[in-house]
Structure 1
Amino acid sequence: MSKPTPSSEAIPLRIAVLTVSDTRGSSNDTSGDLLTELLQEAGHQLQQRDLVKDDIYQIRAVCSQWIADPEVQVVLITGGTGFSGRDSTPEAVRPLLDKEVIGFGEMFRYISLEQVGSSTIQSRAMGGLVNKTLIFCLPGSNNACRTAWEGILREQLDSRQKPCNFVGLLS
């Protein structure tokens, strides 16, 4: 993997975090807390944060509001990406996208293979771009959120990452 160019200064992004869960609330939203901590440690700003039930229309409503908000550049969604009957984050988000980042889900599953074995095939992690806003849908576990952040997102949301990163798509 290439590394950020140390001579340039990072461009902080304004990131929103959405937790999708039928069982978590603000007091036990550990994956939302973790993503907030990781993005701030990387120098980004938490712009918005919310928690909704695993419901296609609640997810779309929040995402649509953030996509329309010029102050939100990136949306990180944790939860609802599994294969169970209630998991509906990909179905909620995919119709909103202008372009899907196919490689995000592929790379996430590749990295996860070492950690969770063949169970990674049940992950429907995905990413995309809409209205100059990036959206990444991550599993709801802390380990999966850390894997996605450390293995992909930290570098791709860093303006110094060469040969390319997502930051240039957001202006």
Structure 2
Amino acid sequence: MLMILNILAGLFLALCLLAAIHDVNRLTIPNWLNLALAGLFIPAAAVSGLPLEILGGHLMIAALAFLIAFGLFAFRIFGGGDAKMIPAVMLWLGPEAGVPFVFSMALAGGACALLILAVRRTVPAAAVPGVVRAPFEENAGVPYGVAIAAGTFMAASASPFLSDLLNQVSAWS
């Protein structure tokens, strides 16, 4: 069962990277990707062996993240894909990783925004390679999927669903 959970966790993390790459390339995170991130939680929860109280905590923090992210979307602070990705990620991270995730996501988002602003002021968008050009166009948004993915990786060790995979990966290196 632990091997299945680690496979699902690895797939989840790979999809987070895919979301970040897609967001850089197109400034969107597709609905199917956010659904896959959230949907993978169901079999992971089934094989995890975690008590229902812990699983309930994951559901509650994801619901809270959804409400906050929806509010940020309503005020045009986040895009729709970002507002859907955050609760999907919070399902996996859970309450223990909530604060580290938000802190790391905010730092990564600020760094990403500063980098984009610096490049926009110094390099013409046409000089930026096509696959990463979208964020550097004038008046384009910030691909916050990058910050969400970075926050996920930085807070993953606090998640009961992701920590074992990270421990195994660090043992290999």
Does the alignment reach a TM-score above 0.5?
no
Structure with the largest fraction of helix: 2
Computing the radius of gyration from Cα coordinates, the structure with the larger value is: 2
Bigger relative CO (Cα 8 Å, ≥ 6 apart): 2
Structure with the largest fraction of strand: 1
Scaled by the length of structure 2, the TM-score of the pair is 0.33
